[in-house]
């Protein structure tokens, strides 16, 4: 599903010259896997996730989604690939505050070219799947933080992406709500959804099918890669 080959990413930092966020990462994600990426702060977790999703052009190396070499595409083609094949879930939800839940979830479908009727129907189906139908006409400020994250997940799913990329999806949640969101992700994975999740919470990471540990921008091969759950 996703193949990362010798991925390197450096940033220019004022006063520090160049900072290397990724240092030759090679990684495979198979179809239907649930992979948790963990590591210390600054280890390159989020940079790796954004590079996988076509949002962080690498300094060197390649990212493949299926047989497509992502960074051989121009910006417009990469944006189209993200809309059709990649769903993003963010720690801060990134919901549009003046839109309802239904409108927030339908938005990516509209951007992908569906008409309003089709986009709304797709959003309704996703919200029903996530148990959010009764809240579909509420705006984000009227929801609990857990409900907002469910809407964020729904928005990521509305175009039936091949892979779901989640960057600290439980980072703003209390432990009980984090467990609920994690169980939702596991349910999606059991239904066949490929998921890559960045998290600092080892307790949640151990519920994924595989753990990848990063240290100093590289895969830490000294650590076990299999989850214990």
Domains of the chain, residue spans: 33-53+80-219
Please classify residue 55 by burial: count the beta carbons closer than 10 Å to its beta carbon, then call 0-12 exposed, 13-18 middle and 19+ buried.
middle
pLDDT number for residue 192: 93
Q: How confident is the model at residue 197 (pLDDT cuts 50, 70, 90)?
A: very high
Q: What is the DSSP string of the chain?
A: -EEEEEEEEEEEETTTEEEEEEEEEEEEE-TT-EEEEE-STTSSHHHHHHHHTTSS--SEEEEEETTEEGGGS-HHHHHHHHHHHEEEEETT----TTS-HHHHHHHHHHHTT--HHHHHHHHHHHHHHTT-GGGTT--GGGS-HHHHHHHHHHHHHTT--SEEEEESTTTTS-HHHHHHHHHHHHHHHHTT-EEEEE-S-HHHHTTSSEEEEEETTEE-TTS--B---
The residues with which 5 forms a beta bridge, in sequence order, are 62
142-186 confidence digits (pLDDT tens): 999 999 999 999 999 999 999 999 999 988 888 998 898 899 999
pTM score of the predicted model? 0.89
Is it true that domain 33-53+80-219 has CATH number 3.40.50.300? yes
- Reported as a single tens digit per residue, the pLDDT across 44-70 is 899 999 999 999 999 999 999 999 999
The 10s digit of each residue's pLDDT in 119-135 is 999 999 999 989 999 99
The yes-or-no verdict on residue 101 having pLDDT over 80 is: yes
pLDDT confidence of residue 218: 87
pLDDT at residue 108 tops 70: yes
Reply yes or no on whether the pLDDT at 42 is more than 60: yes
Kindly state the tokens that stand for 84.
Answer: 């059709």
- pLDDT tens figures, 74-92: 999 999 999 899 999 988 8
pLDDT greater than 90 at residue 107: yes
Q: Is the pLDDT of residue 43 over 90?
A: no
Task: Tell me how far CA of residue 11 lies from CA of 14, 60, 143, 163, in angstroms.
Answer: 10, 12, 37, 26
């Amino acid at each position: 599903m996703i193949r990362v080959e010798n991925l390197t990413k450096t940033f220019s930092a004022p006063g520090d010259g160049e900072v290397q966020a990724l240092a030759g990462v090679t990684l495979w994600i198979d179809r239907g896997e649930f992979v948790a990426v963990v590591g210390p702060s600054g280890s390159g977790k989020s940079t790796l996730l954004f590079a996988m999703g076509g949002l962080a052009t690498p300094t060197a190396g390649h990212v493949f989604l299926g047989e497509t070499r992502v960074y051989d595409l121009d910006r417009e083609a990469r944006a189209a690939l993200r809309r059709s094949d990649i769903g993003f879930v963010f720690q801060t939800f990134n919901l549009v505050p003046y839109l309802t839940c239904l409108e927030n979830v339908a938005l990516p479908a509209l951007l992908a070219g569906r008409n309003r009727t089709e986009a709304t129907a797709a959003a309704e189906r996703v919200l029903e799947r996530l148990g959010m139908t009764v809240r579909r006409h509420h705006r984000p400020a009227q929801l609990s933080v857990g409900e907002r994250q469910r809407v964020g997940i729904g928005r990521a799913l509305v175009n039936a992406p091949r892979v779901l990329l989640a960057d600290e999806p439980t980072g703003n949640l209390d432990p009980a709500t984090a467990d609920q969101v994690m169980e939702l992700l596991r349910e999606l994975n059991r239904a066949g959804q490929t998921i890559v999740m960045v998290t600092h919470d080892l307790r949640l990471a151990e519920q994924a099918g595989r753990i990848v540990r990063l240290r100093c921008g590289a895969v830490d091969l000294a650590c076990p890669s299999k989850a214990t759950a």
